[in-house]
Amino acid sequence: MNERSQKQISSEKKIGIRSLYLGLLLGGLLVFFLLNLMLGSVDIPFKEIITILSGGKTNHFAWQKIIINIRIPRALTAILAGSALSVGGLQMQTFFRNPLAGPSVLGITSGASLGVAIVMLAAGTITSIFAIQQLSALGSWIIIGAASLGSAAVLLLILLISLKVRDNVTLLIIGLMIGNITIAMVSIWQYFSQPEQIRDYLIWTFGSLGGVPLNRLWILAIVVLVGGIIAIGMSKSLNGLLLGENYARSMGISVSSSRIWIIVSTSLLAGSVTAFCGPIGFVGIAVPHLTRSLLGTNDHRVLIPGTFLMGAILMLACDIVAQVPGSSTTLPISAITSLVGSPVVIWVIIKRKNLQASFS
Amino acid sequence: MISRRYFYPFLNLYTCFWTVIFSFGTVACQSSSHEQQSHQTTKSISFPEQVHAEYAKGFRITYHKNYKLLEVLNPFQNQADTLRYALIPRDLIGNVNVRDARPIPIPIQSMIATSTTHVGVAEMLNASDIIKGMVGAKYVYNSNIRQKLDQGEIASFPMGAFNKEEALNMQPDLLMISGGQASQFDNYKILIDAGINVLVNSEWLETTPLGKAEWVKVLGALLNREKLANQKFSAVAKRYKKLKSSVNDIQQKPLVITNMPYKGAWFVPGGGSYNATILRDAGADYPWSESKDTGGMRKDFEVVYRIGLKADVWINPGDAKTKEDLLAKDSRFKDFKPFKTGEIYNNNRRMSPSGGNDFWESGVVHPERILADLIKIFHPDVIPDHQFYYYRKVK
C-alpha cells in the first residue's frame, strides 16, 4: 500500500513532463499529417498544397482534386483508424491485464470480419455489400453495425468465459481459439464462393485507408468519437482494474458495469475501423506499449490521450510508407503496420525488460 | 423513370427522403431550366446512326434530342442498381441536363482501360489511340498498345489497388472498369466524386457470346462511331450464326471437359454461362449443360476425373502448352482419354512475350473466331480449310 501511494505521489510530480510529452505528440501529429498530405504518387509542390489547404486559387484543377478528394480523407481516416485501434488495444491490455492482448489477437477483429461476411451472405453476394456502401450512407451503418456486433459477440463470449476462468493466460488462449473459429467460419463461406468473390474478400482483408470518401468519413468519426469518449470516461475504472478487481471495488468502482462499458467502447472502436478499412492488425498491440514506454505511466487519464495521439502518428507514418512516395505503386496497409510495428515493439520490449511489471 | 431495386427495404425510406428533398430543389430550379430549354432550341443535334442491344442484356441505349442515354442494367452480378450515363456532345455539355444520369462528353478522346478486354473493344473500332492509361500492362497482347506502353505514351497503372492520384492527374474523359472489380468500387466512388467519369463495362456478365461482343456498341456510342460498330458487329453475328447452324444437325457430339483443377477443386463453367453456351453452339457434349448456373461451379477433383477418363476432348487446361506441363501439375492426368488420344487444345496460340493472351483481348469481340476454332476441334470435317486462330493442340 505504501509503495503504491509513493508511486502516485511521484506520478503527480511528473505531470508537467507528461503534458510536455503530450504536447510534443500533438505537434508530431500535425507534422505527420502534413507529410502525409505532401507525399503520394503525384508530385505536388508544398506551396501548392498550402494554397489549396488555405482555400486559395490554384491553376491545377487536378491537384486540388487530389488533395481534397483523396489525400485529406485518407489522412483523416488514418488518424481515426490508428487512434481507435490503439485505444481499443490499450483497453484490452488493461482489461485482461495481459501485454499481448489487442483487438486482433483476441479475435475481435476476426469477429468483425465475420460480421461483415454474414451481411455479405445475407445480401446474396459479396458484391452487394459494396453496392450497399455505394448506394447511401445508410449502407455504411449496416456494415458498421454488423462489424461492431461481430466484434461485440466475440468479446462477450470471452467475457463470459472470463467469469469462469480467472487465469489470464488461459483466457488469452481461449480468445485466440475463438478468433480461429471465426476465421474458420469465414473460410468455409469462402470455400463455397466464386473465385471473383474470394478475390474481392481477399482485397478487403488487405486493409485500405483510401476507400472512405469525405461524405462518409463523418460516420466513422462519430463512432470513433463515441467509443473514445466512453474510453476516457472509463479512465478511472481502468486504473482500478489494472491493480485487480478487488482493488477496483475498494475504490468504489462498479466492476460489472465497467466491464460492459469497456466492451462496448472496444467493440465500437475496433468494429467500426474494421468495417471501413478492413482488418488492420498489430497497431492495437504495439501502440499502447510505445505510449507507456514514452510517458512512463500507467495512469489511463494520461495514457488514453497519449495512445490516441501515438496511434494516429504511427498510422500516418505507415500510410506514408504504404504509398511508396514517387511511385505509382501502393502497398497494402495491414502488411505495413506489421512490418513497421513489429521491430518497434521488439526494440521497446528489449529496452524495457520489465514489460510484465506494468500489469501486476 | 427507371425503377430501382434495392436490397434493403429501409433503403427505400432513405430514397423517399431524398426524393422529397430533391423535389423541393426541382421546384426552386424550374425557372432556370426554362431558360436552358430556350437556349437549347438554338442548337439541336440528332443522331442519324443508332445502335441498339439485340443480344446483350446488360445495357440499353436510347437516343434523345441532344443526348444519348446509356443505361448499364447489371453493373454487378446480382445487385441491380441501374447506372445511367448521359452521352452529350462535347459542345453542348453544361447546357443539357439529364436527371439521375452522369454526363459524359462525346466523342470521348481519352480513356483509362482497366482490362485487356477494353483493348479488344477499342481495337475493333479502330480507336486504340484513345487509350491513355492501362491497368495490367504486361497482359496486353496488342503490339501497338504494347509499344506505346514501352515508350511511355500510355501510362501504365499497376495491378492491385487502383492508383487514384495518377488517374486524377491524367483527367481522362472516361475510366472504364469491369463490374467484377466491385471490391474497388469505393476507390472508384471517390474518383466519381472528384469528377472522373467511371463507366462500368459489365460485358463479362453476359451469358451469350454475341451478347458479350455486342458491348462494342457501347463504345461505338461513346465515340460517335455507331455506323462502324453496327457494321463490325453484324458481320460477327452473321458469321457466328452461320457457323452455329453448320453443326446444328450433327448427332455425334464429343464429350468435352474444360479447365484445370486448383488445389483439389475444379472450377467448371455453369450450364447457363458464356463458356457452356459457346461449347453447345460448337456442337460439343458438355457434362454440366443442364445446370442453370451462369458463373463457375466448384467440383471436387474426382467428379471431373471420372468424366476425364472417358471424355473425347479436353480444352483450356490452364496455361499448359505441352503434355509435360500437364503432368508436372498432376500425374493423374495421364489416365485421361484425351491425354492418350492427344485431343487436348488450349486457347494460348496468340501470346505476347510477357504473358498477354489475345483470346481474352480480341476474343471478346470475335466470338465467331472462337466458335470456328472449337468447331474445327469438335467436328474437323465441317470446316476443313479453317486454320486455328486462338487455339493450339497441346502436344
Is B244 a domain residue? no
Confidence (pLDDT) at B223 = 94
Mean pLDDT of chain B: 83
Mean of the pLDDT values across residues A148-158?
A: 80
The domain ranges of chain A are: 76-359
> Is B35 a residue whose pLDDT tops 70?
no
% residues pLDDT > 70 (chain B)? 85
Which residues of chain B does A330 touch, with a Cβ-Cβ cutoff of 8 Å?
A: 158, 160-161, 163
Q: Which band of pLDDT confidence, cut at 50, 70 and 90, is reported for residue A127?
A: very low
A73/B190 CB distance under 8 A:
yes
Do B277 and B357 have their domain in common? yes
Confidence (pLDDT) at B94 = 83
> Is A328 a residue whose pLDDT tops 90?
no
Compare all CA atoms of chain A with the CA of B263 and give the residue at the minimum distance: A191
Confidence (pLDDT) at A80 = 95
Mean of the pLDDT values across residues B249-273?
A: 87
What is the pairing mode between strands B111-113 and B174-178? parallel
Mean of the pLDDT values across residues A246-275?
A: 83
| Vertex A270: Cα angle to A307 and A101 (nearest 5) | 65
Say if residues A49 and A66 touch (Cβ distance below 8 Å).
no
Confidence (pLDDT) at A194 = 66
Find residue B349's DSSP bridge partners: none
A132/B160 CB distance under 8 A:
no
Per residue in A211-255, pLDDT (tens digit) is 777 777 888 899 899 999 999 998 888 888 888 778 888 888 887
Cα dihedral B366/B372/B378/B381 (nearest 10): 180
- For residue B274, the enclosing domain spans 250-393
B78/A70 CB distance under 8 A:
no
Q: Which band of pLDDT confidence, cut at 50, 70 and 90, is reported for residue B120?
A: very high
Helix (H) or strand (E) holding B69: strand B67-72
Lowest mean pLDDT among A198-202, B178-182, B190-194: B178-182
Mean of the pLDDT values across residues A18-38?
A: 89
Q: What are phi and psi of A140, to 5 degrees?
A: -60, -35
Say if residues B272 and B292 touch (Cβ distance below 8 Å).
yes
Do B227 and B276 have their domain in common? no
Confidence (pLDDT) at B20 = 42
Compare all CA atoms of chain A with the CA of B171 and give the residue at the minimum distance: A62
Cell of A56: 486559395
- Indicate which of B16, B183, B188 best probes the interface with A, i.e. most A CBs within 10 Å of its own CB: B183
Per residue in A47-96, pLDDT (tens digit) is 888 888 887 777 778 888 888 888 898 999 999 999 999 999 999 888 88
What is the pairing mode between strands B59-64 and B67-72? antiparallel
Is B242 a domain residue? no
Do B83 and B216 have their domain in common? yes
Nearest CB to A329: which of B158, B184, B193?
B158
Confidence (pLDDT) at B220 = 95
Task: Give the residue, A277 or A213, on which the prediction is more confident.
Answer: A277
Spatial CA neighbour of A193 closest among A123, A252, A111, A121 = A121
> Is A122 a residue whose pLDDT tops 80?
no
3-state SS string over A200-259?
Answer: HHHHHHCCCCCCCCHHHHHHHHHHHHHHHHHHHHCHHHHHHHHCCHHHHHHCCCCHHHHH
% residues pLDDT > 70 (chain A)? 81
**Distance between CA atoms of A146 and A153, rounded to whole angstroms?**
10
Do B36 and B51 have their domain in common? no
Confidence (pLDDT) at B149 = 92
Task: Give the residue, A339 or A108, on which the prediction is more confident.
Answer: A339
Lowest mean pLDDT among A100-109, B229-238, B281-290: A100-109
Confidence (pLDDT) at A125 = 43
For residue B72, the 8-state DSSP code is E
Confidence (pLDDT) at A31 = 94
Do B73 and B105 have their domain in common? yes
Mean of the pLDDT values across residues B277-296?
A: 88
Of the options 3.40.920.10, 3.30.70.260, 1.10.3470.10, 3.40.50.2300, the CATH number for the domain spanning A76-359: 1.10.3470.10
Task: Give the residue, B162 or B217, on which the prediction is more confident.
Answer: B217
Burial class of residue A243 in the structure, from the number of CB atoms within 10 Å of its CB (0-12 exposed, 13-18 middle, 19+ buried):
middle
Mean pLDDT of chain A: 78
Nearest CB to B190: which of A69, A131, A136?
A69
Do B78 and B223 have their domain in common? yes
Lowest mean pLDDT among A201-215, A304-318, B101-115: A201-215
A138/B185 CB distance under 8 A:
no
**Distance between CA atoms of B70 and B60, rounded to whole angstroms?**
6
CATH number at residue B290: 3.40.50.1980
For residue B158, the 8-state DSSP code is P
Mean of the pLDDT values across residues B24-31?
A: 39
Is B243 a domain residue? no
Residue B339 corresponds to which amino acid?
F
How close does chain A come to B196, measured CA to CA in Å? 10
**Distance between CA atoms of B175 and B49, rounded to whole angstroms?**
25
Q: Which band of pLDDT confidence, cut at 50, 70 and 90, is reported for residue A262?
A: confident
**Distance between CA atoms of A219 and A225, rounded to whole angstroms?**
10
Q: What are phi and psi of B391, to 5 degrees?
A: -95, 155
Per residue in A174-213, pLDDT (tens digit) is 777 888 888 888 778 777 766 666 666 677 677 788 777 7
How close does chain B come to A126, measured CA to CA in Å? 8
> Is B343 a residue whose pLDDT tops 70?
yes
Confidence (pLDDT) at A246 = 80
Sign of CA dihedral A95, A101, A103, A106: negative
> Is B172 a residue whose pLDDT tops 70?
yes
% residues pLDDT > 90 (chain B)? 44
Task: Give the residue, A105 or A288, on which the prediction is more confident.
Answer: A288
B295/A194 CB distance under 8 A:
yes
Residue with cell string 486454320: B387
> Is B286 a residue whose pLDDT tops 90?
yes
Confidence (pLDDT) at A140 = 53
> Is B10 a residue whose pLDDT tops 60?
no
Do B114 and B181 have their domain in common? yes
Is B374 a domain residue? yes
Q: How many domains does chain B have?
A: 3
Lowest mean pLDDT among A99-113, A293-307, B287-301: A99-113
Mean of the pLDDT values across residues B189-208?
A: 86
Q: Which band of pLDDT confidence, cut at 50, 70 and 90, is reported for residue B111?
A: very high
Mean of the pLDDT values across residues B344-351?
A: 92
Do B188 and B212 have their domain in common? yes
Q: Which band of pLDDT confidence, cut at 50, 70 and 90, is reported for residue B312?
A: very high
Is B90 a domain residue? yes
Q: Which band of pLDDT confidence, cut at 50, 70 and 90, is reported for residue A173?
A: confident
Spatial CA neighbour of A35 closest among A353, A318, A339 = A318
Q: Which residues contact B363 (CB under 8 A, 6 or more apart)?
A: B120, B347, B369, B370, B390
Which residues of chain A does B168 touch, with a Cβ-Cβ cutoff of 8 Å?
A: 42, 62, 65-66, 69-70
- Indicate which of B83, B164, B189, B200 best probes the interface with A, i.e. most A CBs within 10 Å of its own CB: B164
Per residue in B36-71, pLDDT (tens digit) is 443 444 467 778 889 999 999 889 999 998 899 999
Q: What 3-state DSSP class applies to B376?
A: helix
Confidence (pLDDT) at B21 = 42
B164/A330 CB distance under 8 A:
no
Do B221 and B266 have their domain in common? no
Do B385 and B310 have their domain in common? yes
Task: Give the residue, A4 or B9, on which the prediction is more confident.
Answer: A4
Nearest CB to A136: which of B11, B183, B194?
B11
End of a domain among B237, B259, B282? B237
Residue B63 corresponds to which amino acid?
Y
> Is B8 a residue whose pLDDT tops 60?
no
Find residue A356's DSSP bridge partners: none
Do B51 and B34 have their domain in common? no
A211/B186 CB distance under 8 A:
yes
Mean of the pLDDT values across residues A317-335?
A: 84
Residue A256 corresponds to which amino acid?
S
Do B90 and B48 have their domain in common? yes
